[in-house]
Structures are given as C-alpha cells and as structure tokens.
Amino acid sequence: MKTIGLVGARGHTGRELIRLLAERDDLKLAFAVSRAMDGQPVTDLAPEGPAGLLFEALSPDEVAQRQCDGVILAMPNGQAAPYVDAIEAVKPDTVIVDLSADYRFDDSWVYGLPELYGRAAITGATRISNPGCYATAGQLAVAPMREALSGPAHLFGVSGYSGAGTTPNRRNDEEALRDNLMPYALMGHIHEREMSRHLGREVRFSPHVAAFFRGIVLTVQMEFARSITAEAFRSAYETAYGDEPLIRVQDEAPEVIEGANNPGAVVGGFALSEDGRRGVMVCALDNLLKGAAVQAMQNLCLGLRLSEFEPRSA
C-alpha cells in the first residue's frame, strides 16, 4: 500500500482526486492539505474519502516530514516550488505530480500525457508535470495529424466554469455567464505555449468559458501540406488511439455532454474540404478528469510503478 499526500485538496480537482484515490486498493490518502477547511473531515467535501481523516493546514516542511510515497500538488500556478524543494530535501525519491503549469516547460520534469508521449518515461519518474486541461484536449486533437500540417492549427475552445477555480472571479460567476459565452486570454494563453512546445508545431488557441460547470469542447481547424482522403483523416486517429482505453474515436463531432463526467476523451467530426487540404475535427473531455485528476492518477501510478488503471476497490 503506497501512501499519498494531497496538497490543494479543497478545489474542484482536489475533490475528484480524493474520490479517485479512494477507488484504489493499492493507494492510501495519508493527508489532505487545505487551509480553508483545516480541521474539517475530508468526508465533508468528498464522502468517498477516508473516514476520520481531517484536512490539515500543513507547511511545505510539514508535508515533507510526512515522507509519503507520492504527493500530488493541486494548487494554482506559482505555488509548487516550496513544496518540491522541501520534499527533495527530506525524501527525494517521493513521486511528485504537479498539476500547475510551473514545471511544464522544465526539461528535468517528465511531461505526463501517456497516450501521446508514451509511458516509458513516466514509469518510475519522480517529478511529473501534469498537462493542462485545454492542452490535453488540444494535443490529443492535433497530434495524429501534426506531420501533415502546412501551418499552425487553430483551436477554438469552450470550457465549463469549473476551469476558473473556486476563488470568485468573473469567469466562474454564474450570473455573469448566464446566457453568455465569455472569451478571455485573447493572446498568449499559457496552454497555447504548452501545446506548441510539446507538439513541436505552432498552434493558435482561442479559449472561452460558458455557463455549464464541467467539460471542454475544442474545435480544431488544420491545413495540410498535401491533399488527404477522409479515410486517411479518420484512420490517423484510429491508429493513434485504437488501443487506448480512455480515448474514443467516433464519426460524429462530440459535444460537451460527451466529455463531461467522462474519465477519458472523445475525438470525432473529421470534416474535409473538397480539395482535401483543410480538415476540421472536435475533441471533448472533462476538464476536471482527463484534463486534470484522472491524468494525475495515471501519472502517479506509473511513477510508483503500479498498474495505471487497476486494481480498484469494488
């Protein structure tokens, strides 16, 4: 039984992680850090959590002194480094999975998107950076066709407001979002840079937030250097993901409802221009699951050399 610590447990992703950890027979949630809920039972937030476990307001040094086998950092950008430094000083072989963007551009960390960049590098790794939610959807959408591109892929994304976190702001204000679609970060969104870096191809990304709680739908426009057939377009995704249990390939363009509460992702649509030089397809996933918590669990288990998907409690 591997012991796991969770820092940033109160957020939407933290709640999902508590549930997912409870489903595993080989992982035990040893502590959950939340200053806002310090002293309250973890089961107040997540009924699936361990009975008797209380949220704690632990400092980085206190987290390190717990000496867990793995620690998941589920905090906003810019807050991971003190925890990483403290853990490295006390138990450097701890598997750390960071869900922020802090280490996604750091070559000393493994970038954990198993379906695209393989499981070999993640297996046994102790420093794993979890991809962003939009970045996961975008890379799953573009990667099978990246060698065929003649220029940047253009991505139009819409996310539920859970992606804006739990701290009140306009992008998670249900009144502001009512009957509304809110564009933001019109240039330079960090997921645009993340996708371009790891794909090795430039992308152009336009994010939006809507009034639904969870889920992402991403429509991708791609121009190809040579004409392709409809069969070749779709088969590129079948070849890439046919053996992946979390990725479903379908003819129809997936909608938000197909991504929400889905542990994986759905890709489909596959429309071509008459000359076969321009293609459009769609990816849908849950920003809190494959876009965050499920992917973190994949990375954690691979880092700990456990089964990626099993065993699970009944």
Provide the annotated active-site residues: 133
- Whether the Cβ atoms of residue 195 and residue 143 lie closer than 8 Å to each other: no
CA distance 20 to 48: 9
- Whether the Cβ atoms of residue 219 and residue 156 lie closer than 8 Å to each other: yes
Pull the structure tokens for residue 117.
């960049």
AA letter at 221:
Q
Angstrom distances, CA of residue 214 to CA of 225, 253, 299: 36, 18, 22
